Amino acid sequence: MDEAKSLNEKLLDSMELGNDAAERFLPAKSLAQLITEESVKTTLEPIKPLLSDIDMKELVQFVCTKARAVFATLVWCSKEPFILAFYRAGFTDKMLPVSRSGATLVPHNDEYTPAAQATSKDTGWTSVIATQFSDNQWYFISPVFKSSQFHYPLLKKYHMPFLNTSSGDAGRFGEVKKCTIHRDHIDINIGTMCDKNGHPVVAKKELKRLGRWSDDHFKDVAEREANVLKKMREFPHNHLIEVIAYCEISEMERYFLFPWAEDGNLQQYWNEKTPHLDSAYVKWVFSQLTGLAEAIQQLHDPSKGNCQHGDIKPQNILCFKDPGAGITNCRLVIADLGLAKVHVQEAAARDSPTTTKSHTIMYSAPEAHVDGKPRSRVYDVWSIGCTYLEFLIWLLWGKKKLGNFQEDVHASNLGTFYGHDYSLDPPFHLSLPVDKWVGLIRDDRRCSGGTALRRLIDLIVTRLLVVQVSGGAPKTTESLVSSDDTQGPVKVIVCPPAARNINKQGSFRASAKEMHDELLKIRKDIENKRCRIVSDSKSEGEPQRPEKGLSPPSHTARPPGIGTRKVAVR
């Protein structure tokens, strides 16, 4: 059949090569463009005498609306007359893929078994034809990722629509690879970068089983992350990663697809970019800090995310190109929710924290140091507080001094932003290097009282990097007003007539909402010119790196009452 062969050749010419030459696939739009009413009529013309009891128009309509992939597979196998058997049985594309048992086609959904069996009973159908059909169907059924679907149970035999894949970063729980996906196979507006041919570039996170994990534990970890990401999909946020798809190839082979962050992560951004203290740049910084805080608030919100992240750090904050993100065209997005845990019981979740042994030590909160100590949502607040402090150091002095700070933290006793002293209750405090660097920031003339940068460091130290987490966070948000005295900021605590509950060690760590509210105040004050971004005084140059072994300058660990006034609101 010259016409059928011609269509066969067109199918071959339109094939795309995947990562493996053996995994060729026909793009979805090419299938629609090639299997048309005209091409189907032309191909079936030689078997027209067999259609005495079938209306050709109905058959063509059946193929073009319900069975393009079935027909293409038959054409590829030069068995196009058998489309009559599929038509009579009502076998459509949605019943693919199939395997075979002898001459019988076996769909993976039992619901479609009767139609498959009816097809296989057609005169002339053999086990050889069944084998050809089951082997060649994969060229025409590569999945299309849609916004309406999250979970894709797939078989290993699927020819995935990835044009190329390059190796990427391997983390503890998975490896992230850079993939280019054919533009016909993603029907989601994800705002990711595209290659020169318009094919979207995505991140493929392949989940990895740790050595001592049982099969059941691996599946539990994978499903936990999938549940968190699915919930995040229902409540999208500009500063939270949005998953494209969850692909389950087998019980032990699973991966997620995400938009690709062209500019890498926040740590890479700090290493590659030069900071500026002009108005537009600092406004961008505060817009991103506020956005990240709001994203964490949404994660923690029982009516939305209802989970904690558990591993916030600069490497897990991605940088996406976004023309609407301000002067840098960069939007920061919290990613890697692999350690996030959904809280099923809303009321209990706030008071009965979760536990996990998996976290990044440097950005972990003090409660992680106590074996068996459960973790509440404000664990994330400590971690983002560490990140904000690093952001501020980089903003003031650049990557070299940030590197010095990170080296100092790594070299400290615990390698964290906190230290320990078992004569205290609780036995934790800000580590010596963190305390010293906070002192350098507060002593910098550009961060004098009343500036946005001073309010930021005060927020970080007095509300975010706070050891106390139990007893609930204060119900009102502090307004941090700085002074230029040598004792550090004067903390003005605005309270209702009834005094706020602050224990002898100071205030409790802020909730994500309180953190966001305070950052939003600073940002609005900047926009409304009620707050200077930096002091008009010039910096005296790069600060001297703190010497090791010196006693703390007491920039963060003042007893209650020093530099503090309580103001009651009447």
pLDDT in tens, 212-236: 888 899 999 899 889 989 988 989 9
Residue 94 belongs to some domain of the structure: yes
Predicted model pTM = 0.83
What average pLDDT is seen over the chain? Answer: 83
For 119-133, how does the pLDDT look when each residue is reduced to its tens digit (9 = 90+)? 888 778 999 999 999
Higher pLDDT, 251 or 540: 251
- pLDDT of residue 341 exceeding 70: no
Domain identity same for 106 and 242: no
Question: 564 - beta bridge partners?
Answer: 491
C-alpha pair distances (Å), 15 with each of 40, 61, 226: 19, 24, 32
In 3D space, the residue among 409, 508, 424 whose CA is nearest the CA of residue 464 turns out to be 508
Query: According to the model, what pLDDT value does residue 18 have?
Result: 84
**H helix or E strand, kind and range, residue 105:** strand 104-107
Query: According to the model, what pLDDT value does residue 563 have?
Result: 33
Model confidence at 471, pLDDT cuts 50, 70, 90, reads low
Query: Do the Cβ atoms of 299 and 343 come closer than 8 Å?
Result: no
Model confidence at 254, pLDDT cuts 50, 70, 90, reads very high
Domain identity same for 16 and 162: no
Query: According to the model, what pLDDT value does residue 569 have?
Result: 30
Span 62-68, average pLDDT: 97
Residue 233 to residue 236: CA distance in whole angstroms? 6
Backbone phi, psi, residue 196, to 5°: -65, -20
Residue 13 to residue 11: CA distance in whole angstroms? 6
Domain identity same for 525 and 386: yes
Residue 225 belongs to some domain of the structure: yes
Which amino acid, residue 510? A
Query: According to the model, what pLDDT value does residue 342 have?
Result: 56
For 386-395, how does the pLDDT look when each residue is reduced to its tens digit (9 = 90+)? 999 999 999 9
- pLDDT of residue 524 exceeding 70: yes
Query: According to the model, what pLDDT value does residue 250 have?
Result: 87
Query: Do the Cβ atoms of 119 and 143 come closer than 8 Å?
Result: no
For residue 248, the domain's CATH number is 3.30.200.20
Domain identity same for 197 and 323: no
pLDDT above 70 covers a percentage of the chain that reads: 80
* Residues shown for the chain: 570
Residue 171 to residue 335: CA distance in whole angstroms? 13
Domain identity same for 319 and 378: yes
Model confidence at 45, pLDDT cuts 50, 70, 90, reads confident
Span 153-181, average pLDDT: 85
Higher pLDDT, 423 or 268: 268
C-alpha pair distances (Å), 358 with each of 159, 312, 341, 347: 35, 12, 12, 25
Query: According to the model, what pLDDT value does residue 483 have?
Result: 34
Total number of domains in the chain: 3
Which region among 269-278, 359-368, 455-464 has the lowest average model confidence (pLDDT)?
A: 359-368
Print the domain residue range for 200: 145-259
- Picking from 243, 259, 275, the residue at the C-terminal end of a domain is 259
Domain identity same for 474 and 530: yes
Higher pLDDT, 115 or 16: 16
Query: According to the model, what pLDDT value does residue 547 have?
Result: 64
Domain identity same for 59 and 195: no
Residue 548 belongs to some domain of the structure: no
Model confidence at 114, pLDDT cuts 50, 70, 90, reads confident
Model confidence at 546, pLDDT cuts 50, 70, 90, reads low
Span 334-348, average pLDDT: 59
- pLDDT of residue 287 exceeding 80: yes
Residue 347 to residue 370: CA distance in whole angstroms? 24
Query: Do the Cβ atoms of 543 and 437 come closer than 8 Å?
Result: no
Domain identity same for 309 and 452: yes
Residue 549 belongs to some domain of the structure: no
- pLDDT of residue 554 exceeding 80: no
Domain identity same for 24 and 131: yes
Higher pLDDT, 515 or 211: 515
Query: According to the model, what pLDDT value does residue 171 have?
Result: 61
For 304-322, how does the pLDDT look when each residue is reduced to its tens digit (9 = 90+)? 878 889 899 999 999 999 8
Instruction: Give the SS3 label for residue 289.
Output: helix
Domain identity same for 529 and 395: yes
Residue 346 belongs to some domain of the structure: no
Domain identity same for 184 and 75: no
- pLDDT of residue 490 exceeding 70: no
Domain identity same for 400 and 523: yes
Which amino acid, residue 202? V
Query: Do the Cβ atoms of 402 and 270 come closer than 8 Å?
Result: yes
Backbone phi, psi, residue 121, to 5°: -90, 0
- Picking from 140, 174, 208, the residue at the C-terminal end of a domain is 140
Span 464-478, average pLDDT: 61
